Structure 1
Amino acid sequence: MRKFETLLLLSPELASDAREELLSTLTGVIERVEGNVLEADHWGMRDLAYPVQKFMRGYYVRLEFEAPGTAIAELERIIRITDGIFKYVTVKLEEAK
């Protein structure tokens, strides 16, 4: 299994319970493809450098997880069709030597 990191920019209008439900959905997708969520780091509300969908603030969440490489396509498909997520980026983390 490879280690990945996904950074999510969520809508500032989402309530905290809606954010938790969204994150539990994403962790469920990772676990369904036999992955393992290592860390869910909430960075909180931050100012944006430029407006995104007319918002100047957004809520950042970093997910670190282990999963097979084929799991990324399914995770990003779910992210794209989910309301409340403005932007995302997924990167493969280097393995420890």
Structure 2
Amino acid sequence: MTKRSTIMANNYETLVLLSPELAEENRKGILDLLTSIVEREGGNMVETDDWGLRQLAYPVQKQTRGYYVRLVYDAPGNLVAELERNIRITDGIFKFMTVKLAA
């Protein structure tokens, strides 16, 4: 009997709130960075949904507007920690939330 190593991939969704002052090329650079992290760590980007600039329900870090982007990806569980670590240290992202999607 041979022992096979299989990595269980789960479906995740990360909602990222970007600063409204970022230029288009800076937003694209941040999204490219996040996509490359997912792929580098063994995940698969399923969808990038750009919701655009929207009014916030309440001020967050003195911002009343924000640029929303939803990322959907398949990934092993340890990838989420690495992605969130990079999100925390990236300038221009001021809020995010990751949830595991039902299978």
Give the TM-score range, shorter chain: over 0.9
From 54, 57, 66, the counterpart of 1:49: 57
Deviations 1:23-58 (A, max 9, x none): 000011000111010000000010011111211100
TM superposition outliers: structure 1 runs of 4+ over 4 Å: none
Correspondence 1:34 to 2:42: yes
Identity %: 61
Question: Distance between the aligned counterparts of 2:75 and 2:62, measured in 1?
Answer: 34
TM-score, scaled to structure 2 = 0.90
Name the CA distance, whole Å, in 2 between partners of 1:10 and 1:90.
Answer: 15
Matched, 1:69 2:73: no
Matched, 1:83 2:91: yes
CA RMSD, aligned part only? 0.6
Pick from 8, 13, 18: which aligns with 1:5?
Answer: 13
Count of equivalent residues:
95
SS for the counterpart of 1:60 is strand
Structure 1 length-normalised TM: 0.96
Unaligned runs of 5+ in 2: 1-8
Report what 1:19 is aligned to. 27
Distance (Å, rounded) in 2 between the aligned partners of 1:55 and 1:2: 33
Distance in 1, matches of 2:48 and 2:95, equals: 17
Structure 1 segments unaligned to the other structure (5+ residues): none
**Residue 16 of structure 1: how far off its partner (Å):** 0.8
